[in-house]
A and B are shown apart, each in its own frame.
Chain A
Amino acid sequence: MFDLTGKTALVTGASGGIGGAIARALHAQGATVALSGTRREALDALASDLGERTHVLTADLSDRDSVEHLVPALEEAAGQVDILVNNAGITRDMLALRMKDEDWDAVIEVNLSTAFRLSRACLRTMMRKRSGRIINITSIVGVTGNAGQANYAAAKAGMIGMTKALAKEVASRGVTVNAVAPGFIESPMTDALNDSQKASILSAVPAGALGTGADIAAGVVYLASDEASYVTGQTLHINGGMVMV
Protein backbone atom coordinates (compact mmCIF):
# COMPACT_ATOMS: atom_id res chain seq x y z
CA MET A 1 0.00 0.00 0.00
CA PHE A 2 0.98 3.61 -0.63
CA ASP A 3 4.02 2.72 -2.74
CA LEU A 4 5.43 5.87 -4.36
CA THR A 5 8.37 4.29 -6.18
CA GLY A 6 9.13 6.12 -9.42
CA LYS A 7 7.22 9.26 -8.43
CA THR A 8 8.79 12.67 -8.03
CA ALA A 9 7.50 14.92 -5.26
CA LEU A 10 8.14 18.61 -4.74
CA VAL A 11 7.77 19.73 -1.12
CA THR A 12 7.89 23.45 -0.45
CA GLY A 13 8.90 24.66 2.98
CA ALA A 14 10.92 21.49 3.47
CA SER A 15 13.31 23.22 5.85
CA GLY A 16 10.51 23.47 8.40
CA GLY A 17 9.32 20.84 10.86
CA ILE A 18 6.17 19.67 9.08
CA GLY A 19 7.69 20.03 5.60
CA GLY A 20 10.71 18.00 6.62
CA ALA A 21 8.51 15.27 8.05
CA ILE A 22 6.46 15.18 4.85
CA ALA A 23 9.61 14.89 2.72
CA ARG A 24 10.90 12.06 4.91
CA ALA A 25 7.64 10.15 4.71
CA LEU A 26 7.29 10.49 0.92
CA HIS A 27 10.92 9.42 0.53
CA ALA A 28 10.37 6.43 2.78
CA GLN A 29 7.58 5.28 0.43
CA GLY A 30 10.03 5.32 -2.48
CA ALA A 31 9.46 8.75 -3.99
CA THR A 32 12.21 10.99 -5.29
CA VAL A 33 11.85 14.18 -3.28
CA ALA A 34 12.73 17.72 -4.23
CA LEU A 35 13.24 19.87 -1.16
CA SER A 36 12.46 23.52 -1.58
CA GLY A 37 12.94 26.10 1.12
CA THR A 38 14.76 29.22 2.17
CA ARG A 39 17.30 27.73 4.59
CA ARG A 40 19.91 25.97 2.51
CA GLU A 41 21.76 24.33 5.42
CA ALA A 42 18.59 22.73 6.74
CA LEU A 43 17.71 21.43 3.27
CA ASP A 44 21.22 20.09 2.68
CA ALA A 45 21.20 18.38 6.08
CA LEU A 46 17.86 16.72 5.34
CA ALA A 47 19.01 15.70 1.85
CA SER A 48 22.21 14.12 3.11
CA ASP A 49 20.26 12.35 5.83
CA LEU A 50 17.85 10.89 3.27
CA GLY A 51 20.60 9.99 0.79
CA GLU A 52 19.66 9.04 -2.76
CA ARG A 53 16.58 10.27 -4.60
CA THR A 54 16.80 13.84 -3.28
CA HIS A 55 17.20 17.24 -4.88
CA VAL A 56 17.66 20.56 -3.12
CA LEU A 57 16.18 23.72 -4.58
CA THR A 58 16.45 27.01 -2.77
CA ALA A 59 13.67 29.41 -3.61
CA ASP A 60 12.34 32.57 -2.07
CA LEU A 61 8.61 32.07 -2.44
CA SER A 62 7.89 35.74 -1.79
CA ASP A 63 9.68 36.47 -5.08
CA ARG A 64 7.55 35.78 -8.17
CA ASP A 65 10.50 35.18 -10.48
CA SER A 66 11.90 32.68 -8.06
CA VAL A 67 8.54 30.86 -8.05
CA GLU A 68 8.32 30.90 -11.86
CA HIS A 69 11.69 29.18 -12.12
CA LEU A 70 11.14 26.55 -9.45
CA VAL A 71 9.15 23.98 -11.43
CA PRO A 72 11.18 24.26 -14.68
CA ALA A 73 14.39 23.94 -12.65
CA LEU A 74 13.08 20.83 -10.97
CA GLU A 75 11.84 19.31 -14.22
CA GLU A 76 15.32 19.74 -15.63
CA ALA A 77 16.96 18.15 -12.60
CA ALA A 78 14.51 15.41 -11.70
CA GLY A 79 11.85 15.14 -14.40
CA GLN A 80 8.17 15.90 -14.17
CA VAL A 81 6.49 16.53 -10.86
CA ASP A 82 4.01 13.80 -9.93
CA ILE A 83 3.25 15.07 -6.43
CA LEU A 84 3.22 18.72 -5.41
CA VAL A 85 3.00 19.50 -1.70
CA ASN A 86 2.32 23.18 -1.10
CA ASN A 87 3.54 23.33 2.46
CA ALA A 88 5.50 26.59 2.64
CA GLY A 89 3.91 29.17 4.86
CA ILE A 90 4.70 32.22 6.93
CA THR A 91 2.93 34.08 9.71
CA ARG A 92 2.78 37.80 10.47
CA ASP A 93 0.42 37.75 13.45
CA MET A 94 -1.20 40.94 14.69
CA LEU A 95 -4.67 42.01 15.71
CA ALA A 96 -6.44 43.38 12.64
CA LEU A 97 -6.62 46.93 13.95
CA ARG A 98 -2.84 47.04 14.02
CA MET A 99 -2.11 44.82 11.03
CA LYS A 100 -0.11 46.53 8.31
CA ASP A 101 -0.87 46.12 4.60
CA GLU A 102 2.58 44.60 4.12
CA ASP A 103 1.82 41.91 6.69
CA TRP A 104 -1.48 41.10 5.04
CA ASP A 105 0.03 41.04 1.54
CA ALA A 106 3.08 38.99 2.46
CA VAL A 107 1.05 36.21 4.06
CA ILE A 108 -1.47 36.03 1.19
CA GLU A 109 1.37 36.06 -1.35
CA VAL A 110 3.49 33.28 0.12
CA ASN A 111 0.76 31.09 1.59
CA LEU A 112 -1.90 31.34 -1.09
CA SER A 113 -0.71 32.94 -4.34
CA THR A 114 2.47 30.88 -4.50
CA ALA A 115 0.49 27.69 -3.96
CA PHE A 116 -1.69 28.67 -6.91
CA ARG A 117 1.25 29.48 -9.17
CA LEU A 118 3.09 26.27 -8.37
CA SER A 119 -0.10 24.28 -8.89
CA ARG A 120 -0.65 25.91 -12.28
CA ALA A 121 2.94 25.20 -13.27
CA CYS A 122 2.61 21.51 -12.41
CA LEU A 123 -0.93 20.90 -13.64
CA ARG A 124 -0.19 20.99 -17.33
CA THR A 125 2.13 18.02 -17.31
CA MET A 126 0.00 16.22 -14.74
CA MET A 127 -3.04 16.55 -16.98
CA ARG A 128 -1.10 15.30 -19.97
CA LYS A 129 0.08 12.30 -18.01
CA ARG A 130 -3.45 11.71 -16.76
CA SER A 131 -2.13 11.45 -13.22
CA GLY A 132 -0.91 13.75 -10.51
CA ARG A 133 -1.39 14.81 -6.92
CA ILE A 134 -1.55 18.27 -5.45
CA ILE A 135 -1.69 18.43 -1.67
CA ASN A 136 -2.12 21.79 0.01
CA ILE A 137 -1.14 22.11 3.64
CA THR A 138 -3.72 24.43 5.11
CA SER A 139 -4.58 24.87 8.80
CA ILE A 140 -7.33 24.35 11.30
CA VAL A 141 -7.27 28.14 11.56
CA GLY A 142 -8.56 28.39 7.99
CA VAL A 143 -11.75 26.72 9.18
CA THR A 144 -12.12 28.10 12.71
CA GLY A 145 -10.46 31.52 12.45
CA ASN A 146 -8.05 32.76 15.10
CA ALA A 147 -7.68 36.16 16.74
CA GLY A 148 -4.50 37.83 15.57
CA GLN A 149 -4.34 35.83 12.35
CA ALA A 150 -6.76 37.49 9.93
CA ASN A 151 -4.16 37.27 7.16
CA TYR A 152 -3.12 33.68 7.89
CA ALA A 153 -6.71 32.46 8.37
CA ALA A 154 -7.76 34.14 5.11
CA ALA A 155 -4.87 32.55 3.21
CA LYS A 156 -5.55 29.11 4.67
CA ALA A 157 -9.30 29.33 4.04
CA GLY A 158 -8.48 30.53 0.54
CA MET A 159 -6.36 27.47 0.05
CA ILE A 160 -9.31 25.24 0.86
CA GLY A 161 -11.51 27.02 -1.69
CA MET A 162 -8.76 26.85 -4.27
CA THR A 163 -8.32 23.15 -3.58
CA LYS A 164 -11.98 22.50 -4.33
CA ALA A 165 -12.01 24.61 -7.51
CA LEU A 166 -8.86 23.01 -8.92
CA ALA A 167 -10.14 19.57 -7.96
CA LYS A 168 -13.28 20.13 -10.05
CA GLU A 169 -11.28 21.41 -13.01
CA VAL A 170 -8.88 18.49 -13.27
CA ALA A 171 -10.74 15.51 -11.80
CA SER A 172 -11.52 14.17 -15.29
CA ARG A 173 -7.78 14.05 -16.02
CA GLY A 174 -6.82 11.71 -13.20
CA VAL A 175 -5.33 14.52 -11.11
CA THR A 176 -6.49 14.93 -7.52
CA VAL A 177 -6.21 18.07 -5.41
CA ASN A 178 -6.68 17.85 -1.66
CA ALA A 179 -5.82 19.75 1.49
CA VAL A 180 -4.50 18.66 4.85
CA ALA A 181 -5.38 20.79 7.86
CA PRO A 182 -3.10 20.33 10.88
CA GLY A 183 -4.22 21.32 14.36
CA PHE A 184 -1.66 22.01 17.10
CA ILE A 185 1.61 20.40 16.03
CA GLU A 186 4.85 20.14 18.03
CA SER A 187 7.32 22.73 16.79
CA PRO A 188 9.99 25.07 18.12
CA MET A 189 7.09 27.47 18.69
CA THR A 190 5.11 25.09 20.91
CA ASP A 191 8.33 23.97 22.68
CA ALA A 192 8.76 27.56 23.83
CA LEU A 193 5.39 27.61 25.59
CA ASN A 194 5.32 27.30 29.38
CA ASP A 195 3.45 24.52 31.18
CA SER A 196 0.29 26.48 31.82
CA GLN A 197 0.13 27.63 28.22
CA LYS A 198 0.58 24.03 27.10
CA ALA A 199 -2.10 22.83 29.50
CA SER A 200 -4.50 25.41 28.17
CA ILE A 201 -3.90 24.32 24.58
CA LEU A 202 -4.20 20.64 25.43
CA SER A 203 -7.51 21.19 27.21
CA ALA A 204 -8.94 21.91 23.74
CA VAL A 205 -7.56 18.69 22.23
CA PRO A 206 -9.62 15.56 23.01
CA ALA A 207 -6.63 13.36 22.18
CA GLY A 208 -4.76 15.10 25.00
CA ALA A 209 -1.50 15.61 23.12
CA LEU A 210 0.03 17.79 20.46
CA GLY A 211 0.34 16.30 17.01
CA THR A 212 3.67 15.61 15.33
CA GLY A 213 5.00 16.28 11.85
CA ALA A 214 4.78 12.53 11.25
CA ASP A 215 1.03 12.62 11.93
CA ILE A 216 0.61 15.17 9.15
CA ALA A 217 3.04 13.38 6.83
CA ALA A 218 1.04 10.15 7.08
CA GLY A 219 -2.03 11.95 5.75
CA VAL A 220 0.01 13.40 2.90
CA VAL A 221 1.39 9.97 1.98
CA TYR A 222 -2.14 8.60 1.80
CA LEU A 223 -3.41 11.42 -0.42
CA ALA A 224 -0.31 11.11 -2.65
CA SER A 225 -0.85 7.40 -3.20
CA ASP A 226 -2.61 5.59 -6.03
CA GLU A 227 -4.95 4.17 -3.41
CA ALA A 228 -6.43 7.67 -2.85
CA SER A 229 -7.28 8.20 -6.53
CA TYR A 230 -11.00 8.61 -5.77
CA VAL A 231 -10.42 11.24 -3.07
CA THR A 232 -10.39 14.80 -4.39
CA GLY A 233 -11.37 18.28 -3.26
CA GLN A 234 -11.25 17.17 0.35
CA THR A 235 -9.71 18.64 3.46
CA LEU A 236 -8.24 16.01 5.77
CA HIS A 237 -8.23 17.36 9.33
CA ILE A 238 -5.45 15.99 11.50
CA ASN A 239 -5.94 17.59 14.88
CA GLY A 240 -6.53 15.05 17.65
CA GLY A 241 -10.25 15.77 17.55
CA MET A 242 -9.84 19.46 18.32
CA VAL A 243 -12.31 20.41 15.60
CA MET A 244 -14.67 17.99 13.90
CA VAL A 245 -16.16 19.17 10.62
Chain B
Amino acid sequence: MSDIAERVKKIVVEHLGVEPEKVTENASFIDDLGADSLDTVELVMAFEEEFAVEIPDDAAETILTVGDAVKFLEKNTQ
Protein backbone atom coordinates (compact mmCIF):
# COMPACT_ATOMS: atom_id res chain seq x y z
CA MET B 1 0.00 0.00 0.00
CA SER B 2 1.33 3.42 -0.96
CA ASP B 3 2.10 6.13 1.53
CA ILE B 4 -0.88 8.12 0.28
CA ALA B 5 -3.19 5.14 0.69
CA GLU B 6 -1.95 4.63 4.25
CA ARG B 7 -2.62 8.26 5.14
CA VAL B 8 -6.07 8.17 3.54
CA LYS B 9 -6.92 5.02 5.44
CA LYS B 10 -5.81 6.56 8.72
CA ILE B 11 -8.03 9.61 8.17
CA VAL B 12 -11.03 7.45 7.26
CA VAL B 13 -10.56 5.18 10.28
CA GLU B 14 -10.21 8.13 12.62
CA HIS B 15 -13.04 10.13 11.20
CA LEU B 16 -15.65 7.44 10.71
CA GLY B 17 -14.58 5.28 13.64
CA VAL B 18 -14.59 2.09 11.56
CA GLU B 19 -12.42 -1.02 11.76
CA PRO B 20 -9.23 -0.62 9.66
CA GLU B 21 -9.98 -3.94 7.90
CA LYS B 22 -13.16 -2.47 6.45
CA VAL B 23 -11.31 0.39 4.79
CA THR B 24 -10.54 -1.41 1.53
CA GLU B 25 -9.94 0.14 -1.85
CA ASN B 26 -13.46 -0.56 -3.05
CA ALA B 27 -15.21 0.43 0.17
CA SER B 28 -17.83 3.12 -0.43
CA PHE B 29 -17.85 5.83 2.25
CA ILE B 30 -21.62 5.96 2.38
CA ASP B 31 -22.71 2.40 1.53
CA ASP B 32 -19.97 0.41 3.27
CA LEU B 33 -18.52 2.67 5.92
CA GLY B 34 -21.69 4.30 7.23
CA ALA B 35 -20.82 7.88 6.32
CA ASP B 36 -23.56 10.48 5.92
CA SER B 37 -23.35 13.43 3.54
CA LEU B 38 -21.81 15.63 6.19
CA ASP B 39 -19.12 12.99 6.86
CA THR B 40 -18.15 12.98 3.19
CA VAL B 41 -17.72 16.77 3.26
CA GLU B 42 -15.65 16.50 6.42
CA LEU B 43 -13.52 13.74 4.88
CA VAL B 44 -12.82 15.85 1.81
CA MET B 45 -11.81 18.76 4.06
CA ALA B 46 -9.59 16.43 6.09
CA PHE B 47 -7.90 15.19 2.89
CA GLU B 48 -7.37 18.78 1.77
CA GLU B 49 -5.71 19.59 5.06
CA GLU B 50 -3.55 16.45 5.24
CA PHE B 51 -2.33 16.67 1.65
CA ALA B 52 -2.36 20.46 1.29
CA VAL B 53 -4.43 20.33 -1.88
CA GLU B 54 -7.67 21.89 -2.92
CA ILE B 55 -10.35 19.43 -3.98
CA PRO B 56 -12.90 21.25 -6.16
CA ASP B 57 -16.58 20.46 -5.62
CA ASP B 58 -16.95 18.66 -8.95
CA ALA B 59 -13.98 16.45 -8.13
CA ALA B 60 -15.25 15.87 -4.59
CA GLU B 61 -18.51 14.55 -6.02
CA THR B 62 -16.62 11.77 -7.81
CA ILE B 63 -14.81 10.61 -4.69
CA LEU B 64 -17.16 7.89 -3.50
CA THR B 65 -14.79 5.14 -2.40
CA VAL B 66 -11.50 4.92 -0.56
CA GLY B 67 -9.83 4.05 -3.88
CA ASP B 68 -11.33 7.16 -5.54
CA ALA B 69 -9.75 9.34 -2.88
CA VAL B 70 -6.36 7.63 -3.17
CA LYS B 71 -6.41 7.93 -6.97
CA PHE B 72 -7.32 11.61 -6.87
CA LEU B 73 -4.64 12.39 -4.32
CA GLU B 74 -1.96 10.38 -6.12
CA LYS B 75 -2.69 12.36 -9.26
CA ASN B 76 -2.87 15.75 -7.59
CA THR B 77 -0.13 15.76 -4.99
CA GLN B 78 3.63 15.62 -5.34
Annotate B34-71 by CB proximity to A: 1 below 8 A, 0 otherwise: 00101000100100000000000000000000000000
- A170 surroundings in chain B (CB, below 8 A): 38
Shortest distance in angstroms between A38's beta carbon and chain B's nearest beta carbon?
31
- B38 surroundings in chain A (CB, below 8 A): 127, 169-170, 172-173
Annotate A151-180 by CB proximity to B: 1 below 8 A, 0 otherwise: 000000000000000000110110000000
Question: In the complex, what distance in Å separates the CA atom of A124 from the CA atom of B36?
Answer: 16
Shortest distance in angstroms between A211's beta carbon and chain B's nearest beta carbon?
37
Shortest distance in angstroms between A130's beta carbon and chain B's nearest beta carbon?
12
Question: In the complex, what distance in Å separates the CA atom of A127 from the CA atom of B45?
Answer: 12
Question: In the complex, what distance in Å separates the CA atom of A221 from the CA atom of B5?
Answer: 45
- B45 surroundings in chain A (CB, below 8 A): 124
Q: How large is the interface on B (under 10, 10 to 19, 20 to 34, 35 or more residues)?
A: under 10
- A124 surroundings in chain B (CB, below 8 A): 42, 45
Question: In the complex, what distance in Å separates the CA atom of A173 from the CA atom of B36?
Answer: 11
CB–CB B42/A127 < 8 A: yes
- A173 surroundings in chain B (CB, below 8 A): 38
- B36 surroundings in chain A (CB, below 8 A): 172
Shortest distance in angstroms between A169's beta carbon and chain B's nearest beta carbon?
7
Question: In the complex, what distance in Å separates the CA atom of A128 from the CA atom of B45?
Answer: 12
Shortest distance in angstroms between B7's beta carbon and chain A's nearest beta carbon?
18
Question: In the complex, what distance in Å separates the CA atom of A71 from the CA atom of B45?
Answer: 18
Question: In the complex, what distance in Å separates the CA atom of A172 from the CA atom of B41?
Answer: 14
- B42 surroundings in chain A (CB, below 8 A): 124, 127-128
Question: In the complex, what distance in Å separates the CA atom of A170 from the CA atom of B42?
Answer: 12
What residue of chain B has the Cβ atom nearest to residue A170's Cβ? B38
What residue of chain A has the Cβ atom nearest to residue B15's Cβ? A128
Shortest distance in angstroms between B22's beta carbon and chain A's nearest beta carbon?
21
Would you list which residues of chain A between 167 and 206 have a CB under 8 Å from chain B?
169-170, 172-173
Shortest distance in angstroms between A139's beta carbon and chain B's nearest beta carbon?
30
What is B's interface to A at a CB cutoff of 8 Å?
A: 36, 38, 42, 45
5 cross-chain pairs, A with B, having the tightest CB-CB distances, nearest first: A169-B38, A127-B42, A172-B38, A124-B45, A172-B36
